[in-house]
Structure 1
Amino acid sequence: MARTRIISGLVGLVLLIGVLYMGSVVLGIVVSIIAAIGLYEFYNSISNTKGIHPIKIVGYLSIVPLFVLGLQSTGWYNIDLGIMTGISVCLIIFVSMASIVFGHKKYNIVDACATVFGIAYIPFLMSFLIMLRNMDNGNILIWLIFIGAWGTDTLAYTFGRLFGKRKIIPEISPKKTLAGALGGILGCTLLMVIYGIVVNNYFNLDITYFTLILLGLLCGVISQIGDWAASAIKRYVNVKDFGNIMPGHGGVLDRFDSILFVAPVIYYVLALFIK
């Protein structure tokens, strides 16, 4: 299992580097596909175990704005993010509520709420990957998301194995320890500072130490909350993994749970502190 996990992880890393190198259009397409798979995993999990019937067509249509964001870098059009977000939210609410009216024999308000939550949790949060890539120097800055998510996860696991004794929330995630959590936060902060020094020196960026430390602390915390939140959902629906698309890693949501939370944090901190 460990060998399968390592091989699968290396293949995924190579694909990730290729996708990010090829630009926003390819990233938009890939993120849209990943979001669709993530929605399928989420809707499938809650419908199979809790008898909830998400309005899946509404969920899958919510992925269209991701394509729009990805193609925006081509210069074919320019859409205000606020307007596009507002229109998307209104349409999602209107169509979901219309579904429980005209399809009242199949759907109810719980189904509509589950549908909208899935959209907010997966496509909406994933959209920040594309928006960050569309920023100036986005091809460099986007790596902060993966450092913040996977760096925290790796260092939390390492510190937990070496020093972990006191459990944090064993009812949700029995292997997570206080030492692991603190190690993940401190490790993430260190990785952010190191990456910032490298890109400042070699790519003429100007990310301040304050910004890097703030990113490290925030991502070190929020990344682990994202991981625990996914674990809480899996506990509720009584599944070990959301899927098995990545051998040794589970499904899309199992691998991207932290990234979903880290991406908007990185985007807004950089938008506020980098001019």
Structure 2
Amino acid sequence: MKQRVITAVVALIIFIPLIVYGGLPLTIAALVLGLIAINEILIMKKMLLVSFEAIVSNLGLILMVLPDNWLNFLPDGLNRLFLFYILVVLVLLHTVVQKTRFSFDDAGVLTLAMLYIGTGFHYFVTARADGLTTLLYAMLIVWLTDSGAYMLGKRFGKHKLAPKVSPNKTWEGSIGGTVAATIILAIYLWFFPVGYSWVVMIGLTLILSIVGQFGDLVESALKRFYGVKDSGKILPGHGGILDRFDSMLLVMPMLHLLGIV
């Protein structure tokens, strides 16, 4: 517990100024976090971090995270999507060159990882560009849902939510976390309006809280598939970057899908 607290305090001391300042420092931080996260998946798959597929995956991650206006210099027809497609083709061609070592399944995992992690951190940066209150709104959804689900689940939890994926999660904790986050953020939105009208945003908060929990379950399923307890060890007592940002990786793109950013 002591180690968890120390890690959390140090992380907040570093992270909070970056969030408040935004701009280039936060973009660089998002790139670094994204690169660590995708390399956690490479390690889970027991792939060399200096291999061809790892280098292409890292390039794809960088491409996906970069703000849209950073790519304005590209000529017409050469957009982010096409560049990403070129990288995917390179990964697919690698299955031919290294057919005994690198399979189509491997290529699929890395393509999904680039999209999943890269898009999540891209909209993390986009949310901050929209405003500090917008980014805090999204982060509070994740933090409050997670904390509420843990505390209420520990106190009242009886019915397992997804025992084959995350045996400690319960329906009572899940519902309680979403209700708690929605109530507290209703107060936040009253003083710091984000997106649409107050009533509409309460409904969207409910949806985003549920989406965040799915993000947590997706990452739990990933770890269970590869037989690991944590995605990494970079955060003592907390695991890896994927462990800490799993919910946000789905919540942030959903902000865009719902038209909030």
1:159 pairs with 2:146: no
Percent of counterpart pairs with the same letter? 28
Q: Deviations over 1:8-30 (max 9, x none)?
A: 21222222211112222111100
Equivalent position amino acid for 1:152 in 2: T
Q: Deviations over 1:221-251 (max 9, x none)?
A: 1111111111111111111101111111111
In 1, are the aligned partners of 2:38 and 2:61 still within 8 Å (CA)? no
1:98 pairs with 2:93: yes
Residue of structure 2 equivalent to 1:15 = 14
Partner SS for 1:192: helix
Residue of structure 1 equivalent to 2:119 = 124
Residue of structure 2 equivalent to 1:28 = 27
Out of 213, 228, 251, which is 1:262 matched to?
A: 251
Structure 1 residues 85 and 164: alpha-carbon distance in aligned structure 2, compared to 1, 3 A threshold:
same
C-alpha displacement of 1:167: 1.2
Partner SS for 2:162: coil
Return 5+ residue gaps in structure 2 as ranges. Answer: none
Q: Name the stretch that deviates more: 100-109 or 18-27.
A: 100-109
Q: How does 1:180-195 map to 2 (within 5 A)?
A: 180-195=173-188
C-alpha displacement of 1:54: 8.7
Q: Name the stretch that deviates more: 206-215 or 28-37.
A: 206-215
Return 5+ residue gaps in structure 1 as ranges. Answer: none
Instruction: Report the Cα distance in structure 1 between the residues aligned to 2:102 and 2:216, rounded to whole angstroms.
Output: 30
In 2, are the aligned partners of 1:146 and 1:259 still within 8 Å (CA)? yes
Partner SS for 1:175: strand
Instruction: Report the Cα distance in structure 1 between the residues aligned to 2:149 and 2:26, rounded to whole angstroms.
Output: 28
Q: Deviations over 1:6-63 (max 9, x none)?
A: 2221222222211112222111100100011001111111227xxxx99211110013
Residue of structure 1 equivalent to 2:235 = 246
Q: How does 1:36-185 map to 2 (within 5 A)?
A: 36-47=35-46, 55-65=53-63, 68-69=66-67, 72=70, 77=72, 84-135=79-130, 138-185=131-178
Report the RMSD for the aligned CA atoms in angstroms. Answer: 2.5
In 2, are the aligned partners of 1:58 and 1:115 still within 8 Å (CA)? no
In 1, are the aligned partners of 2:123 and 2:256 still within 8 Å (CA)? yes
Q: Name the stretch that deviates more: 243-252 or 89-98.
A: 89-98
In 1, are the aligned partners of 2:65 and 2:121 still within 8 Å (CA)? no
Out of 229, 236, 251, which is 2:225 matched to?
A: 236
Partner SS for 2:246: helix
Structure 1 residues 191 and 110: alpha-carbon distance in aligned structure 2, compared to 1, 3 A threshold:
same
C-alpha displacement of 1:100: 1.8
Q: Give the TM-score taking structure 1 as reference length.
A: 0.84
In 2, are the aligned partners of 1:148 and 1:219 still within 8 Å (CA)? yes
Q: Deviations over 1:127-166 (max 9, x none)?
A: 111122223xx22211122111111100111110111111
Instruction: Report the Cα distance in structure 1 between the residues aligned to 2:182 and 2:79, rounded to whole angstroms.
Output: 34
- Number of residues paired by the alignment? 257
Partner SS for 1:141: helix
Could you list the runs of 4 or more consecutive aligned residues of structure 1 that deviate by over 4 angstroms after TM superposition? 76-80
C-alpha displacement of 1:87: 2.0
C-alpha displacement of 1:106: 3.2
